[in-house]
Structure 1
Amino acid sequence: MSETATTTSASGTEDLLVRALELDAADPLADRRELFALDDGVYLDGNSLGALPLHVPARVQDVLTRQWGELRIRSWDESGWWTAPERIGDRIAPLVGAAAGQIVVSDSTSVNVFKAVVAAARIAGEGRDEILVDATTFPTDGYIAASAARLTGHRIVPVAPADVPAALGPRTAVVLLNHVDYRSGRLHDLPGLTAAVHAAGAVAVWDLCHSAGALPVGLDEHGVDLAVGCTYKYLNGGPGSPAYLYVAERHQAAFDSPLPGWNSHADPFGMTPGYAPADGSARGRVGTPDIVSMLTLEAALDVWDGVGVDAVRAKSLALTDFFLACVEAYVPAGRVTSVTPTAHAERGSQVALRCDDAASVMPRLVERGVVGDLRRPDVLRFGFTPLYVGFADVERAARVLAEVLAENPGD
């Protein structure tokens, strides 16, 4: 922070607030906010759990009382329960730049990472025994990849995403990367890294948990092989909502899941002892899907009707730019340092601020109605969901942060 940020005049604060109101008035996505259950606070933790779309409870009530309560077993056919994993996958597909028939909604992100990494190692074939893993990855991805490596006889090679091209070689089978770093908000080069992986003859697996619903992904355009993602962050599917698995059409015939459950059988009701995989994205299914959570997600996806991902990305960048400007203007000099890249090409939809007393600052922010989260030991993390976060929210969050930090000057 600059020395001029030590104090902010009343006129400076007023100028930023006026600018925020002007930006909100011109925001083409502003009306989407009315679709969500929000209070008078500022919710900047949608990168952990998205807000509830207002119409979802009534839809879930229908699932419980009519589909389950009245139709019961008939709902597998009459209410479309059986086809839900692929049907909802096709609704997610445009948000990540995929054509229909390549995404199945099922299980958790962790389970899908396991399926994807093992299947990718099998697609890569013999003679390749290394799995490169993002060294900064969300811990579960690393745990799962290590287990997959033990199962397949591969070895794990942790590597920073920027160093992947230099680490690739003839022994590389799979590269597992995060599109956006969960801690810093850094956006990694999916097109460039995917091309480098392919040039080395390996298979690229991407984790989209912190990018899907916040920015364009372009799975088909950039030739991604396999991808996984959760649905409870920017897609607002609800706590524990099922994840999804993308398998590019060119790989579907060779996709050999390590979890061949009855739901992915070509003839699931034949109950035969031998396994024969279904065609298409259904190969990514395993057991009986969690229908209530899945249909909750399906209802939540209605908020995306008529919304383009490019418009979401434009607002996301504007929100994060404005937040950084407000922090620069309001926060006492030297109290926080942004660890989120300033370059748009390297930024997701969050801002992470390093703060020595972050562990005590975040609870005080929450008490004052500004909800972000803490990444220990010293990172304040703020997520910006463009469908319901406005510019006045951003200005208020920075102002409250400055007030909290001023009350406790730190060490």
Structure 2
Amino acid sequence: MNAQDLWELTPEQFNEWRRQHDYPVIWGLLESSLPYFSDWLSQQQLEKEIIFRLGIARFISATDPLSLCLYKSDDRWRLHGTGSAMLASLRKSGLIASERTFLPYLLWFRGQHGDKAANQIRQLLTITTNGRGEALVLGQHPLLNIGGIELSEPVVSGRLLDFTSMDDLVLRGAINNSPIYLWHCSAKGMQIHGGVSGLDFFDTFLWDHRNGSQKRELALIDGIFQDCRFECRDFRFHSSRAVLKYFEVYGEFFDATLEHTSLEEIAIQYRPHGKPNYSDASRYYRNAKRLLSSVGNVVEAGEYYYLEKQCEMKAYRTPGALYKETWLRQSLPRKWLTSSYCWLRYLAKLTSYVTWGFGERPERSLFISLGVILAATLAYFASPSSTTYLHAGRSLYFSIVTFVTLGYGDISQTSTWLELLSACEALCGMVLMGLFLAGFASKTKQY
């Protein structure tokens, strides 16, 4: 059947067609390609029929334990995350006849064989493309193609859309009242007009460039898009005349173009498949900062600026990873110079991080100031050569006056080391008070 015919089927007919013609092939590939697959099925007491009924991808790739719930209202099974607010509400209302919790395959495999082996399996499950541009599951079977057409008011609710190709699909006024799980899919050039809720993309291709010129990316146009979740390694999208509410974005590479778009409650988090790369993480948060700043969300942009600088600081601890393109070709003296430069930069950024959180945590300067004042007070109080020796009130007074550089002159130290301590305290006071004021002033800056 072609894409048009498949979309003309009702959701129930579409799902039944997939169970008969598409899912068996995908299931056979999973059984033959994923290690210990039958052991997982046996230990978790799962049957192929119920997996086919609810969609294969979430049983395989979900990152949290899941619960199979049998509803009293229609005697049908549904799948929920064990920690979801919806499941807690259903339990409380008594709408669940029975419930069974299990571990998805990847989560189970991670617990049995460790993170490294699990990351290799996740990489194996990543959708690839062949020379003709077809998206493939496990590098062998083409995804079911339901894209390349334009649909008006299609019924999306209830369709099993995992392991499908929706490249260049245009949806106008999509009808939906439940989450849409687009897991292990290809959605390059997909356009959604008129708003929709409940989009859930996981490990899905969302963009590409044809011959380096023509760009295809997910487009959200003319509507309210809410309660959407994207966990894709490379997430790039375009929105125009839209409102984006309650968005969650997880991945390694992120970029977006917004035109006449507002953002409400968006969370963007760097989440790598394998070992973190702090240079990539810094770039990820930098793009998030620019995105939020471009629509006037200065406070949220500041939070991503803080994360950007934090990751940038951590990147300097690993010069080999930071300069991986040239590191192996460098001589030993050159590597030593590069390492020295990186560690000096790291210490400079660590100082900025500790003292005022790169300008985003100015309250740290206040706490450090209090610490400096109290430490100096203790020195003036406990030193026998101090003019305020064993006098707590005068020691505290002298420390405060010195720190804020008032310099009344009614008390002064005569011991050389206490004179130097006083000078250092005054210098710290000038710097820390300046950082404290500058940090609050920077809250209104454009990022």
Same fold (TM over 0.5): no
Larger radius of gyration: 2
Q: TM-score range by the shorter chain?
A: under 0.3
Query: So what's the TM-score if we normalise by structure 2?
Result: 0.21
Q: Which has the higher contact order (CA 8 A, sep 6+)?
A: 1
Larger proportion of strand: 2
